[in-house]
Amino acid sequence: MGSDDLFRKRRERNKESLRRRKARRAPYDVILIVCEGGKTEPQYFCELRSDLKLNNLNVVITGECGSDPCSVVDYAIKKAKEDGDYDHVFCIFDKDRHPNYSEALEKITRVRLKAEVRAITSVPCFEFWLLLHFEDTARPYDSIGSRSICDSVIRDLKRHFPRYSKGQKNIYQKTKLNINVAIQRAQRVLKASRSAGTDNPSTLIHELIQYLQSLSSR
């Protein structure tokens, strides 16, 4: 059998697989969520997806792209091009001390795809979103001595969530009772930060969560 026949059969199998996935999808938006890192954020959003009873063929979540913001955006674009059925693509990454954070944001503005591609950022890091479940704060963060800027956020989070560690399971389940409070606080912090001409601290995680909640209610 020639290589052309193998390629044709592989292409037909891929098309058939895509047809089966489409048939099993729910009648609402199809989205891709690409998270930096391999555990904390993907696990959080998988738990959220399950809690909202969203179809995992409509809401695809992956953390297989590394922790660099540009690698998150590049991977998201690649996946969106491979499967052109996404309505929205969300790139979740932290500012932290990543040198190419701004470059990643700029890449997204240049993307021309069928799907809308959005950055869902947290400054300094995802743990600030978790902190807002317990504390109403807009205090800016910085690194202190050998402690990174994200370590400073985690230190504050552990005052309320002593056993928190990156990558652990059930973070969503352990914080979800305060999720609506956290959304309101995130909205206020974002507005205050923008008014002050800064992004430290801020998070857009609440905007993605509200969108997922809206899918669940359809």
CATH of the domain at 202: 3.40.50
Q: What is the pLDDT along the chain (218 residues), one digit of tens a residue?
A: 555 555 454 555 555 455 555 657 989 999 999 999 668 999 999 999 999 999 999 999 999 888 899 999 999 999 999 988 999 999 999 999 999 999 999 999 999 998 999 999 999 999 999 999 999 999 999 988 778 999 999 999 999 999 999 989 999 999 999 999 999 999 999 999 999 999 999 999 999 999 999 999 87
In a domain, 134, yes or no: yes
In a domain, 16, yes or no: no
User: What pLDDT shows up at residue 14?
Assistant: 53
- For residue 46, CA distances in Å to 17, 42, 104, 169, 171 come to 23, 6, 24, 10, 11
As for how many domains the chain has, the answer is 1
In a domain, 202, yes or no: yes
Nearest in space to 92 (alpha carbons), one of 216, 5, 171, 208: 208
How many Å apart are CA 125 and CA 158, to the nearest integer? 15
In a domain, 9, yes or no: no
Structural domain including 67 reads 29-216
Do residues 57 and 83 lie in contact, with contact meaning Cβ atoms separated by under 8 Å?
no
In a domain, 137, yes or no: yes
In a domain, 115, yes or no: yes
User: Beta-carbon neighbour count of residue 36 at 10 Å?
Assistant: 26
Q: Three-class SS string for 193-210? A: HHHCCCCCCEECHHHHHH
User: What pLDDT shows up at residue 74?
Assistant: 97
Radius of gyration, alpha carbons of the chain: 19
Residue 39 half-sphere exposure toward CB, CA atoms < 13 A: 7
Do residues 119 and 93 lie in contact, with contact meaning Cβ atoms separated by under 8 Å?
yes
In a domain, 12, yes or no: no
Q: Which run of H or of E encompasses 59?
A: strand 59-62
- Tokens representing 18 are 């895509």
User: What pLDDT shows up at residue 146?
Assistant: 77
How many Å apart are CA 53 and CA 108, to the nearest integer? 29
Q: Give the phi and the psi of residue 147 in degrees, each rounded to 5.
A: -85, 125
In a domain, 20, yes or no: no
User: What pLDDT shows up at residue 20?
Assistant: 53
Q: Give the phi and the psi of residue 207 in degrees, each rounded to 5.
A: -70, -40
Nearest in space to 95 (alpha carbons), one of 61, 64, 129, 62: 129
In three-state secondary structure terms, 84 is: coil
